[in-house]
Structure 1
């Protein structure tokens, strides 16, 4: 039975239900442009662009993709880019054609891209110039037919060292269309006829098999959290949002882009995290809202120069991905008078299903169920519903829950359970609920590692480690980390003839070139043996519990 104890602590002046608009994400931008054409849509390293300018570029890019590439409804388009104006323009241009955005982590390697391209049947991509070399092999192998390459410095006016560095031309032959060349054609796309049920975005997440799975979201599921966050976080047209979370990730996309654009507010976009620049930016633009991850906030508060900046404009600071240490939350309150508002969500739910009430948050707490979310706790073995302070698996039903994994019928069946005639998504997270209806995470049923908000699947890392000639056996677990929350640790048994010849650092350095930066082991421990079952299966849980 649905628990409603949390309603006693529901944010003041907010209704407990939310009617999800039947308009589309593209129409959110269109309407904000009509209402605030000359208002600044975003600031980007010394440059500012109005909603009217943003909308014009969206239309031009959409026109090019339709007329030159032949993009049509339901085509999946790879978006491989860091935070930038071009990411936002590309996102809405793809939706303008009723095509589907497939946003991929910029730290992905070529072999990762190959998987996504094949899995999602992708033929076209928009990539950042510094990432082009990773995509080029797929073009040469005819897996990608067309690529547009974007240079971030085209939209900046500051001599930012990082932006200038990633703007350098990639080595080798450019078999792609430069961003400006595509937009300068100023082609007009066909009349927009989008619907709320159109598939809008397929972000990828790791699953129980260790392979990434595409989470299919419609305009409607994304709108549920876009509009929900707009109300919950008190966004207005005069809000100034500091956009630091990666936009390929659902939390950054919803809270740092889509909700502010729905409100007609202003974004201050950062391509990379820099605590000094963030403090300077908050002071300069009087940023009011900042959704981040705990590792960012910890770094921000540890800056000895922070006292030299005026950050009093901040009204809302919150985030998710990893619990915020209590001491950091108290430090934030002492400095700003603001309580950190934690939330909880998944790629499958396009960001949050739970959020702490802004006026009554609890630290290291997932929060309470958001608008129209039915969140329950079940016994992982029997499926029986559990009550207050009983630990079990969190299951959720709500308007933001995805319609399923892309072409994964068997996985979809396993990931859902029906109770009281409702279809619930099984999150795989072990939680408990207190007497007031607040949820707290206890453990992860899945073996996932959460490193600074990036999810790492141990079996994938293990499979790569086994490629090293010195590795006889490998077992990957999560280890506590003050900065990242969790980090990747690998226990390794060396082949006999490598013992004494290979050091832990050697394996770590090798790993850096084999996998994305957030995946490689930060800690390596050599062992002579592993605990195993009678059949020889490694008891990873024993190693994990020792951590």
Structure 2
């Protein structure tokens, strides 16, 4: 079984049930299944065949869902790309990923015109209409890229029903997800049909997702967290997606209330924005049975404050692109432990090892490694990096974690973010958790900075809601709750922390800023 086949079966079972709502429009499962097949057939008519690579340069929309599942049905490898990347970033992925066709919003046509001369492998550009077709037609007829262009509706109209597509093998590459490239160039994690289907199915079962659920799909669809938890798992389970183009606290509250949503998934920054939103009404969220957090560690103070204010439980989990992504979730049938990423989900093993690959004692920190049907088959065209990441069937995550007696896991920090102060290990998250407890702090990020005496020192960047709070007061607070070597040597108040498009705080951007300042 794979996602395309499972969706087709689900569509037969729940033919007249809404598959999604999007900006006042909706589609039944049967209608969506037909659109997916016609798009897949249309791609085939353009000469796209099984094994080719098609990039999706799209935001949250039905276009993304139809393009993704259409590609999967045709046996094509889909490569989702963040549409706000720069031309250089997009160009690197398109070239490195051997892309043959691109599906993009018509808003990206100027970017395509600028880039296409440097992308000789690309044979087709399919643009999704956000403006009337006559306007778009007038805009593109004189472009040099015009002969390679087709509208999304044209491709769908080329398609024929019924369309079943080729026989898919479970180890065929279904999606290539490019990592955010925290070190060097982005790497393309190859996820197979087995990887994606198993994780979507197991996550759906673990979270008790069913056809009565209405899932808020607000995370970016091009990101693996959304792909599995807010898109694939709902569609496998027969649930209804409530698609929102862009996260907005005001719109989230309104959407949940209007459609009586039952599941919301977000990153910690989203929960912080919802918690801080002045007009946030707990009654608007009363239909939610579950909130899911992932993508970064959720501060315990924020978790407790959010749950107390809105009377809804947050289940924190853990995953990474290379594992499709989910490996852990806090279980729904046992006590949830604040600060924990939960226990291993179905069919997935997690364990903590030392530098020699040996399992460490309970409660001791080490590297988290993962094994299961969700683990990627490697990085695209990067055999050495693949061999370093996957050893003896285990994926080495690069995250420092520990496990308690009940096999609940806790992320301590990223291995590369560890700060060593005079020989002592300082984990940024530990310091951040303390600072988050201060009532005037909205957000905080901690990084290591060069220090001539200690090797490194701790530096904190803080967003405060109280303009009267000063560095001295916050330092005194830290000294009361942290060992001396963990207390920040510097505290910088800023208006906003740098984040990526999923809302994840970018420590590396702060670290680069510190390094540049120190170098002057």
Task: State which of 82, 87, 90 in structure 1 corresponds to 2:59.
Answer: 82
Alignment of 1:388-427 (within 5 A): 388-418=362-392, 423-427=393-397
Task: State which of 221, 224, 237 in structure 1 corresponds to 2:211.
Answer: 237
The structure-2 alpha-carbon separation of the partners of 1:373 and 1:185, relative to structure 1 and needing over 3 Å to count, comes to closer
Task: State which of 123, 126, 130 in structure 2 corresponds to 1:145.
Answer: 123
Task: State which of 74, 81, 100 in structure 1 corresponds to 2:77.
Answer: 100
How many residues were matched structurally?
Answer: 438
The higher-RCO structure (CA 8 Å, 6+ apart) is 1
Alignment of 1:345-384 (within 5 A): 345-358=319-332, 359-380=334-355, 382-384=356-358
Q: Provide the residue aligned with 1:491 in structure 2.
A: none
Q: Partners in 1 of 2:86 and 2:291 — Cα distance? A: 33
SS of 1:237's equivalent in the other structure is: coil
Q: Provide the residue aligned with 1:182 in structure 2.
A: 155
Shift of 1:481: 5.6
Q: Please give the per-residue CA displacement for 1:447-470, whole angstroms capped at 9, x wherever unaligned.
A: 5999xxxxxxx9xxxxxxxxxxxx
The structure-2 alpha-carbon separation of the partners of 1:518 and 1:181, relative to structure 1 and needing over 3 Å to count, comes to farther
The structure-2 alpha-carbon separation of the partners of 1:281 and 1:408, relative to structure 1 and needing over 3 Å to count, comes to same
The structure-2 alpha-carbon separation of the partners of 1:479 and 1:138, relative to structure 1 and needing over 3 Å to count, comes to farther
Shift of 1:374: 2.2
Shift of 1:151: 2.8
Alignment of 1:18-167 (within 5 A): 23-68=1-46, 70-141=47-118, 142-152=120-130
The structure-2 alpha-carbon separation of the partners of 1:220 and 1:479, relative to structure 1 and needing over 3 Å to count, comes to farther
Q: Partners in 1 of 2:177 and 2:516 — Cα distance? A: 37
TM-score, normalisation: structure 1: 0.74
SS of 2:288's equivalent in the other structure is: coil
Q: Partners in 1 of 2:405 and 2:225 — Cα distance? A: 28
Q: Partners in 2 of 1:208 and 1:282 — Cα distance? A: 34
Shift of 1:206: 4.6
Q: Is the 8 A contact 2:91 2:115 kept in 1?
A: yes
SS of 2:301's equivalent in the other structure is: helix
For structure 1, the residue ranges without an aligned partner over 5 or more in a row are 1-22, 155-165, 451-457, 459-474, 484-507, 532-547
Q: Please give the per-residue CA displacement for 1:106-149, whole angstroms capped at 9, x wherever unaligned.
A: 22111112111121111211012223333333323334221111
Q: Partners in 2 of 1:521 and 1:333 — Cα distance? A: 31
SS of 2:406's equivalent in the other structure is: coil
Q: Is the 8 A contact 1:100 1:199 kept in 2?
A: yes
Task: State which of 251, 260, 263 in structure 1 corresponds to 2:234.
Answer: 260
Q: Is the 8 A contact 2:204 2:237 kept in 1?
A: yes
Q: Does 1:296 align with 2:296?
A: no
The structure-2 alpha-carbon separation of the partners of 1:290 and 1:65, relative to structure 1 and needing over 3 Å to count, comes to same
The structure-2 alpha-carbon separation of the partners of 1:122 and 1:220, relative to structure 1 and needing over 3 Å to count, comes to same
Q: Partners in 1 of 2:226 and 2:208 — Cα distance? A: 17
Q: Partners in 2 of 1:519 and 1:208 — Cα distance? A: 10
For structure 2, the residue ranges without an aligned partner over 5 or more in a row are 419-427, 430-446, 448-455, 465-495
SS of 1:121's equivalent in the other structure is: coil
Shift of 1:191: 4.2
Q: Provide the residue aligned with 2:200 in structure 1.
A: 226
SS of 1:203's equivalent in the other structure is: strand
Task: State which of 256, 262, 269 in structure 1 corresponds to 2:243.
Answer: 269
Q: Does 1:435 align with 2:405?
A: yes
SS of 1:92's equivalent in the other structure is: helix
Q: Provide the residue aligned with 1:336 in structure 2.
A: 310
Shift of 1:528: 7.3
Q: Once structures 1 and 2 are overlaid, which stretch shifts more, 333-342 or 243-252?
A: 333-342
Q: Does 1:446 align with 2:421?
A: no
Q: Partners in 2 of 1:478 and 1:110 — Cα distance? A: 33
TM-score, normalisation: structure 2: 0.77
The structure-2 alpha-carbon separation of the partners of 1:308 and 1:443, relative to structure 1 and needing over 3 Å to count, comes to closer
Q: Provide the residue aligned with 2:189 in structure 1.
A: 215
SS of 2:352's equivalent in the other structure is: strand
